[in-house]
């Protein structure tokens, strides 16, 4: 089984105020219609495509910063707007409203027993389009928090070769649930084994939304094709936005809100490992 690679990728330093709204002006905002559904997708860069799926409660400055790191590592980023207001640092109240709306949306299945979220069909179509437009051997994808397990469901699209699952939070009411249909998980495992592929996954040890039971469930379903990494809670940034301060009171967002942008930090090491994984599979 192939490893994740050890490619040294020069990372451009990005300095921006994480507490100020991000205009996203260095991305091309496109309205993309797939399966008769239109969504805004922010696109930037050149090279093989990476689908960056936002965490709750939307495309924050932290999510956009991660997308820029991916872009600067030599990839074309496709960042779909799935919920919330794009680029905005929302209040705790607005973030809670976005979360509640997503939980009852027909696109997302936030609770146990509901199976795979229907929005993953649209995201798989986006991966096909991104591969056609950007070329290369295939597409990478990363899901975070509410979208974490979407990266696995997208493996049902043959173009997706490099899935990253970061702090997957669904289903909300079952710590050991995967949020994916059993048959879909079986199909993903068969593909991983047939094509010698792996899944990278990340969480903090004390994360209340993505507990050890969920990684254990994925590991049981996918075997050693699922490579789970657990970061210590001490590695989490404490200077977070109002929504996180009120509602996300444990370390959670590995490469976004709880990332500490300093050399030698475990979260920076996780970011670099993800970028190396994308390069290993797609370049």
Distance in angstroms (rounded) separating the CA atoms of residues 221 and 50: 25
% of the chain exceeding 90 in pLDDT: 93
Least confident of 3-7, 185-189, 270-274, 277-281: 3-7
Closest CA to 247 of 128, 106, 96: 96
Residue 98 has pLDDT above 90, yes or no: yes
pLDDT digits (tens, 9 = 90+) for 183-213: 999 999 999 999 999 999 999 999 999 999 9
More confident residue, 1 or 43: 43
Per-residue pLDDT band at 273 (split at 50, 70, 90) = very high
Residue 3 has pLDDT above 70, yes or no: no
Whole-number Cα distances in Å, 98 to 13, 92, 102: 31, 10, 6
Closest CA to 252 of 34, 32, 56, 16: 56
Are β-strands 226-231 and 139-144 bridged in parallel, bridged antiparallel, or unpaired?
A: unpaired
Per-residue pLDDT band at 1 (split at 50, 70, 90) = low
Tokens of 247: 């509602």
Per-residue pLDDT band at 115 (split at 50, 70, 90) = confident
pLDDT digits (tens, 9 = 90+) for 13-42: 777 899 999 999 999 999 999 999 999 999
Distance in angstroms (rounded) separating the CA atoms of residues 94 and 29: 23
> What average pLDDT does this structure show over 61-69?
98
Residue 278 has pLDDT above 90, yes or no: yes
SS3 assignment, position 97: helix
> What average pLDDT does this structure show over 110-115?
87
Cross-strand bridge partners of residue 204: 231
Please give the pLDDT value at position 155. Answer: 98
pTM of the model: 0.95
pLDDT digits (tens, 9 = 90+) for 167-183: 999 999 999 999 999 99
Give the chain's mean pLDDT. 95
Distance in angstroms (rounded) separating the CA atoms of residues 267 and 259: 5
Please give the pLDDT value at position 101. Answer: 96
Answer positive or negative: Cα dihedral of 43, 121, 256, 93.
positive
Distance in angstroms (rounded) separating the CA atoms of residues 22 and 31: 19
Distance in angstroms (rounded) separating the CA atoms of residues 73 and 239: 26
| H helix or E strand, kind and range, residue 189 | helix 182-194
Please give the pLDDT value at position 11. Answer: 73
pLDDT digits (tens, 9 = 90+) for 218-266: 999 999 999 999 999 999 999 999 999 999 999 999 999 999 999 999 9
Please give the pLDDT value at position 4. Answer: 56
């Amino acid at each position: 089984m192939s490893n994740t690679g050890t490619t040294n990728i020069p990372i451009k330093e990005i300095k921006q105020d994480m507490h100020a709204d991000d205009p996203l002006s260095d991305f091309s905002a496109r309205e993309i219609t797939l399966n008769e559904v239109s969504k805004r997708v922010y696109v930037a860069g050149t090279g093989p495509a990476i689908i960056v799926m936002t965490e709750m409660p939307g495309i924050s400055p932290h999510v956009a910063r991660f997308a820029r790191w991916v872009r600067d590592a030599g990839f074309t980023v496709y960042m779909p707007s799935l919920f919330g207001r794009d680029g905005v640092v929302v209040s705790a109240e607005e973030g809670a409203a976005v979360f509640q709306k997503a939980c009852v949306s027909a696109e997302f299945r936030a609770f146990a027993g509901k199976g795979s979220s229907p929005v993953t069909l649209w995201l798989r179509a986006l991966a096909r389009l991104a591969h056609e437009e950007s070329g290369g051997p295939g597409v990478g994808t990363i899901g975070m928090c509410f979208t974490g397990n979407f990266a696995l469901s997208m493996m049902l699209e043959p173009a997706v070769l490099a899935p990253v699952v970061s702090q997957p939070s669904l289903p909300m009411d079952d710590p050991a649930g995967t949020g994916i249909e059993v048959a879909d998980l079986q199909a993903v495992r068969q593909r991983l084994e047939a094509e010698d592929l792996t899944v990278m996954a990340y969480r903090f040890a004390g994360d209340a939304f993505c507990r050890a039971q969920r990684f254990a469930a994925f590991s049981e379903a996918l075997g050693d094709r699922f490579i789970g990494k657990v970061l210590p809670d001490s590695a989490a940034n404490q200077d977070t936005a109002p929504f996180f301060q009120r509602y996300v009171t444990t370390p959670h967002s590995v490469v976004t809100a709880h990332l500490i942008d300093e050399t030698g930090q475990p979260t920076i090491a996780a970011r670099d490992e993800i970028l190396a994984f994308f390069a290993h599979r797609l370049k």
